[in-house]
Amino acid sequence: MAQKIDIDQVRKVANLSRLDLSSEQLTEFAGQLSSILEYVEKMNELDTDGVEPLAHCLEVSNCFREDIAKESLGTDKTLSNAPEQDGQFFIVPKILDESNAS
């Protein structure tokens, strides 16, 4: 039987994802994720001997286009929709602080 997902696991993943979930949402998602694991566990009952693994369900082949150099957008156009910029650079929020540095 598949391992159940508990509320603490959902809370941890929500925290890592920067999601603020209510206790009702934590309970709901724990149940839904546990149901998904139970369904996937049923697939282990299938006999897959002799079944070739595939990367895509349809028969496809790579479609390559000719690699032609083109003119770039340029700095002004590239930065035109940036919420914040500093000269030629995008300003992005800091995601790592020095206390987490290795």
Q: Which fold has domain 7-43?
A: Histone, subunit A (1.10.20)
Q: Indicate the pLDDT class of residue 2, thresholds 50, 70 and 90.
A: low
Element (H, E) at 77: helix 75-79
Task: Give the model confidence (pLDDT) of 53-84 as tens digits.
Answer: 888 888 877 778 888 999 999 888 999 888 89
Task: Extract the tokens encoding 94.
Answer: 């800091």
Would you tell me how many other CB atoms lie within 10 Å of the CB of residue 10? 22
Interval 35-52: pLDDT, tens: 999 998 998 898 989 888
